[in-house]
């Protein structure tokens, strides 16, 4: 669907501008929260009553993340930091012809399964503003499942909501699909995140069948999506891998050891990022409802094969011909 694809190994963009944009976004979020905590310490009564109490009361009773979210199109498309980030990474979508055709059909609806997660999944935030133009029929009704913790941190909560995130619970996902929304999932999650290795393509998928089961139960096509470039955003280090995996499994805390541009933990390397969308996969069940174990395993195997085929179909063209995709 797009042309003039450049190799990820030599993608010239304004590094200084990108470096500033990625670091400023995170620094602003952290600074606001630290400033609020500092003010609370020195002026507990005033700050507590007039800032913290109203904010958390509002957040406690106003939970759009448990419904349809509160996506803000203008923010996603035009926030200058996002625009700089997309340009810095040369982000683009490439859709299969079958997906383009299906997207134009009335009541079109999909479950988009993105791989790999990468160290920080920087592409997730930046790509939200691209959905509207690339999917003119369903763009307004696409939501991304995100970790619950994101909706408990000031500023992070607002940015997550404005860029189409909702709580990654089964009830929320099913509710959205029942209402005709399309859903974006990153099935690999933290397990895939902590296993990200620089310049190696790997997806944590062998035992991740929940998203396939959800799609099969609701009769929604799954679209395999691969993000070329996500594995190369940061130089990774596998030191203390065992303890970090233990923390991820037992406590849900993921601590990647990674460094991006000029030693930054926040700014990825200037890697050409191409998001490729495969053909929608539809599954038929013998009986309406939950799939049998046999049907689920067959559907999961079909998805794995489709993801591998998608990767292999594009890897030479996009500069990854020397790599193989490992499914673990």
pLDDT of residue 9: 39
pLDDT of residue 15: 87
Q: What residues contact 216, with CB distance under 8 A and at least 6 apart?
A: 283, 285, 290, 291, 295, 296, 299
Count CB-CB contacts under 10 A for residue 69: 22
48-52, 161-165, 274-278: segment of lowest average pLDDT? 48-52
pLDDT of residue 53: 82
For residue 5, what pLDDT band results from cuts at 50, 70 and 90? very low
Q: Stretch 158-184: mean pLDDT, rounded?
A: 95
Q: What's the CA gap between 244 and 221, in Å, rounded?
A: 35
For residue 11, what pLDDT band results from cuts at 50, 70 and 90? very low
pLDDT of residue 294: 93
11-25, 232-246, 282-296: segment of lowest average pLDDT? 11-25
Q: Which residue has the tokens 């691209």?
A: 130
DSSP letters along 240-289, please? THHHHHHHHHHH------EE-GGG-SSS------EEEE---B----SSSS
Q: Stretch 227-248: mean pLDDT, rounded?
A: 89
Residue 112 CA from chain centroid, whole number: 10
Q: Stretch 247-251: mean pLDDT, rounded?
A: 79
CATH number at residue 35: 3.40.1130
For residue 12, what pLDDT band results from cuts at 50, 70 and 90? very low
Residue 33 lies in a domain: yes
- pLDDT above 50: residue 2: no
pLDDT of residue 13: 59
- Indicate the pTM of the whole model: 0.90
Supply the range of the domain harboring residue 65.
Answer: 15-319
Radius of gyration in angstroms for the set of CA atoms belonging to the chain, rounded to a whole number: 20
Is residue 208 within 8 Å of residue 245, measured between CB atoms? Answer: no
For residue 95, what pLDDT band results from cuts at 50, 70 and 90? very high
Residue 10 lies in a domain: no
Residue 5 lies in a domain: no
Q: Stretch 47-70: mean pLDDT, rounded?
A: 85
Q: What residues contact 37, with CB distance under 8 A and at least 6 apart?
A: none
Q: Stretch 195-224: mean pLDDT, rounded?
A: 93
- pLDDT above 90: residue 128: yes
What's the number of domains the chain is made of? 1
185 DSSP β-pair partners: 113
Residue 2 lies in a domain: no
Residue 186 lies in a domain: yes
Residue 326 lies in a domain: no
Residue 70 lies in a domain: yes
Is residue 304 packed enough to be buried (19+ CB in 10 Å), middle (13-18) or exposed (0-12)? middle
Count CB-CB contacts under 10 A for residue 241: 12
Residue 124 lies in a domain: yes
Is residue 265 packed enough to be buried (19+ CB in 10 Å), middle (13-18) or exposed (0-12)? middle
- pLDDT above 90: residue 288: no
Is residue 236 within 8 Å of residue 190, measured between CB atoms? Answer: no
For residue 111, what pLDDT band results from cuts at 50, 70 and 90? very high
- pLDDT above 50: residue 183: yes
**Tokens coding 259:** 């460094």
């Amino acid at each position: 669907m797009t042309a003039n694809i450049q190799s990820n190994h030599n993608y010239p963009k304004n590094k200084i501008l990108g470096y500033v944009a990625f670091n400023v976004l995170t620094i602003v979020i952290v600074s606001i929260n630290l400033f609020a905590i500092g003010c609370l310490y020195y002026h507990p009564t005033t700050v507590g009553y007039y800032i913290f109490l109203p904010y958390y009361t509002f957040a406690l009773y106003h939970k759009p993340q448990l419904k349809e979210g509160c996506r803000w199109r203008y923010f996603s498309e035009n926030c200058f930091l996002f625009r700089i980030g997309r340009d810095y990474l040369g982000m683009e979508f490439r859709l299969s012809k079958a997906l383009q055709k299906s997207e134009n059909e009335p009541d079109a609806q999909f479950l988009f399964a993105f791989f790999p997660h990468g160290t920080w999944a920087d592409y997730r935030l930046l790509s939200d503003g691209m959905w509207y133009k690339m999917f003119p029929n369903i763009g307004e009704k696409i939501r991304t499942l995100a970790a619950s913790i994101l909706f408990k941190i000031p500023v992070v909560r607002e940015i997550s909501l404005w860029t189409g995130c909702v709580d990654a619970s089964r009830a929320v996902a099913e509710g959205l699909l029942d209402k005709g929304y399309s859903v974006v999932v990153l099935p690999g999650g933290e397990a895939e995140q902590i296993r990200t290795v620089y310049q190696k393509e790997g997806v944590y998928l062998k035992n991740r069948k929940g998203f396939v089961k959800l799609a099969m139960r609701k009769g929604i096509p799954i679209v395999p999506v691969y993000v070329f470039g996500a594995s190369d955003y940061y130089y990774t280090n596998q030191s203390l891998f065992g303890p970090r995996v233990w923390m991820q499994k037992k406590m849900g805390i993921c601590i990647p050891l990674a460094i991006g541009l000029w030693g930054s933990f926040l700014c990825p390397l200037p890697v050409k990022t191409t998001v490729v969308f495969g053909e929608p996969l539809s599954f038929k069940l013998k009986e309406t409802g939950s799939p049998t174990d046999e049907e689920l395993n067959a559907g999961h195997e079909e998805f794995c094969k489709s993801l591998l085929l998608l990767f292999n179909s594009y890897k030479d063209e996009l500069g990854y011909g020397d790599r193989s995709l490992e499914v673990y």
